Amino acid sequence: MPWTRDEMAQRAARELKDGFYVNLGIGMPTLVANHAGDLDITLQSENGMLGMGPFPWESEEDADLINAGKQTVTELPRTSYFSSADSFAMIRGGHMDLSILGAMEVAENGDLANWMVPGKMVKGMGGAMDLVAGTPRIVVMMEHSDKAGNPKFIPACTLPLTGRNVVDVIITDIAVFERADRKGAPFRLVETAPGVTAEDVKARTTAAFVV
Amino acid sequence: MANKVYSDAASALEGLLFDGMTIVSGGFGLCGIPENSIAAIRASGVKGLTVVSNNAGVDGFGLGLLLETRQVKKMISSYVGENKEFERQYLSGELELEFCPQGTLAERMRAGGAGIPGFYTRTGVGTLVAEGKEHKEFDGETFVMERGIVGDLAIVKAWKADRFGNLVFRKTARNFNPMAATAGKVTVAEVEEIVPDGALDPDLIHTPSVFVQRVFVGTFEKRIEQRTVRKREIA
């Protein structure tokens, strides 16, 4: 039985460590914040905020206080605000501990594609290319297969890349893959959803991985 | 001292607009955008603009207003996903688009404003955005050269100013505004309030006055793109 989005977020939260500074991508990765438990985590929002709080109470929204997904949020006692240049100094300069992002494709060599479908989706990369270029550990959360049923963890990306050799952990709705380093270590299947076997995962994946 | 204070956007922009110019704009999404200057630029009818801004507004608001009237020839942005008219003009070839990663865009403005014509970054190496650009190895790692940006005009939105042009921003409405303010040959700031001399703490000024040539008090709609709230539980 595949994991739900919430269960995937729960699993992704196990990548957090006490004291981490973390950037969560737009969409499914934002759910990870709900599962931090007792860990002391500081969330960064790349538009210019460190120490992001929950959504505001109704009627307390502030147009000057949004996250990178343009959603209204709140501040905390630890919060700081800064310019976009300072924000990306944190990111590009390697000061963040972890980023959790969504993906359209991940390749077996750690390449990531998550910003563009030529001729179809023209949105842009936002801060994703900076995040993968500067953050020492990148966790990807994605459905195992796309809407047409094609695998998303594949031998080589077909879509324009966000970054080369940047993914460390892949969490899908049926499996978790991890690799020991970015110097040629293969992805290893480290967990499967309840009732899902390694053989099932192999049958639904075209990327090479070790078990 | 030369007067920097103007009564409104139209007078603050007078003599600064010309066809084919490059305008650098502050703002992230619809947060901290120079709404008043954008409206006045639309009203001026100036065209063939290259606009440097992280986003392109939405249909009917922000920079979307200048797209509607086809005043924009080219956008340099990191994310344009909230604008159907943008997508239509781009896919039909009417509008040029240079995608620039968000951090690289912030640094390009910062560099331009700081007199630095180019810099090397790891961001984008091995992707479409690095194609055709100079690459260089530092300590065994590959970096790509990106150019600083200086616009003919920068338009920014701040919370408070004084008559000298010192600026203070509020919360995440700061975003690209401090860099944009440095990256214009002329910078026009619109603010919510111009405070009396000495009312801004000199230790807490975000943009020092030298970067700002003209300032005016605007009226702000401050539209919220994604209103997300927690419901109060009724006891």
Residue A177 belongs to domain spanning = 5-203
| Per-residue pLDDT, B105 | 98
The answer, for A119 touching chain B at a CB cutoff of 8 Å, is yes
The answer, for A162 touching chain B at a CB cutoff of 8 Å, is yes
| Per-residue pLDDT, A162 | 98
**Chain B residues touching residue A119 (CB < 8 angstroms):** 91
Q: What is the CATH number of the domain that holds A185?
A: 3.40.1080.10
User: Number of structural domains, chain A?
Assistant: 1
Q: Please tell me the distance from the alpha carbon of residue A38 to that of residue A106, in angstroms, as a whole number.
A: 31
- Are A70 and B226 a contacting pair at CB < 8 A? yes
Q: Establish if A40 belongs to a structural domain.
A: yes
Q: Establish if A114 belongs to a structural domain.
A: yes
| Per-residue pLDDT, B234 | 66
| Per-residue pLDDT, B117 | 98
The answer, for B79 touching chain A at a CB cutoff of 8 Å, is yes
Looking at residue A194, the DSSP 8-state letter turns out to be: T
* Assigned CATH for B9-117+150-217: 3.40.1080.10
CB B110 within 8 A of CB B104: no
Q: Print pLDDT tens along chain B (235 aa).
A: 689 999 999 999 999 999 999 999 999 999 999 999 999 999 999 999 999 999 999 999 999 999 999 999 999 999 998 788 888 898 889 999 999 999 999 999 999 999 999 999 999 999 999 999 999 999 999 999 999 999 999 999 999 999 999 999 999 999 999 999 999 999 999 999 999 999 999 999 999 999 999 999 999 999 999 999 998 776 5
Q: Please tell me the distance from the alpha carbon of residue A73 to that of residue B61, in angstroms, as a whole number.
A: 22
| Per-residue pLDDT, A157 | 98
- Residues of A catalogued as catalytic: 46
Low-confidence ranges of chain A (pLDDT < 70): none
- Are B223 and A46 a contacting pair at CB < 8 A? no
Mutate to test the interface with B, among A86, A129, A157 (most CBs of B within 10 A): A129
Q: Which DSSP string corresponds to A135-187?
A: -S-EEEE--SB-TTS-BSEESS--SPPSBSS---EEE-SSEEEE-S-SSSPPP
Sign of CA dihedral B34, B37, B39, B45: negative
Sign of CA dihedral B202, B206, B210, B214: negative
Burial readout B126-157 (b: 16 or more C-beta within 10 A, e: otherwise): bbbbbeeeeeeeeeeeebbebebbbbbbbbbb
| pLDDT above 70 as % of chain A | 100
Q: Establish if A70 belongs to a structural domain.
A: yes
The answer, for A31 touching chain B at a CB cutoff of 8 Å, is no
Q: Establish if A144 belongs to a structural domain.
A: yes
Q: Nearest chain A residue to B124 by CA: give it.
A: A129
Give me the amino acid identity at A164.
R
pLDDT, one tens digit per residue, over A82-134 is: 999 999 999 999 999 999 999 999 999 999 999 999 888 778 999 999 999 99
- Are B175 and A91 a contacting pair at CB < 8 A? no
Q: Which of A71, A56, A72, A22 is nearest to A42 (CA)?
A: A22
Q: Please tell me the distance from the alpha carbon of residue B101 to that of residue A150, in angstroms, as a whole number.
A: 28
Nearest to A62 among B54, B125, B171 (CB): B171
Q: Which residues contact B87 (CB under 8 A, 6 or more apart)?
A: A122, B80
Looking at residue B213, the DSSP 8-state letter turns out to be: S
Q: Establish if A116 belongs to a structural domain.
A: yes
- Are A164 and B109 a contacting pair at CB < 8 A? no
Instruction: Quote the mean pLDDT of chain A.
Output: 96
The answer, for A60 touching chain B at a CB cutoff of 8 Å, is yes
Domain boundaries, given as residue ranges, for chain B? 9-117+150-217
Mutate to test the interface with B, among A52, A130, A161, A162 (most CBs of B within 10 A): A130
Q: Establish if A208 belongs to a structural domain.
A: no
What does each C-alpha distance from A149 to A26, A144, A204 come to in angstroms?
23, 9, 9
- Residue found by looking up tokens 């807490």 in the block: B204
| Per-residue pLDDT, A187 | 98
Q: Please tell me the distance from the alpha carbon of residue B216 to that of residue B149, in angstroms, as a whole number.
A: 25
**Is pTM beyond 0.90 here?**
yes
Distance from the Cα of A196 to chain B's closest Cα (Å) equals 35
| Per-residue pLDDT, A153 | 98
Complex-level ipTM: 0.96
Looking at residue A207, the DSSP 8-state letter turns out to be: S
- Are B122 and A133 a contacting pair at CB < 8 A? yes
- Are B101 and A127 a contacting pair at CB < 8 A? yes
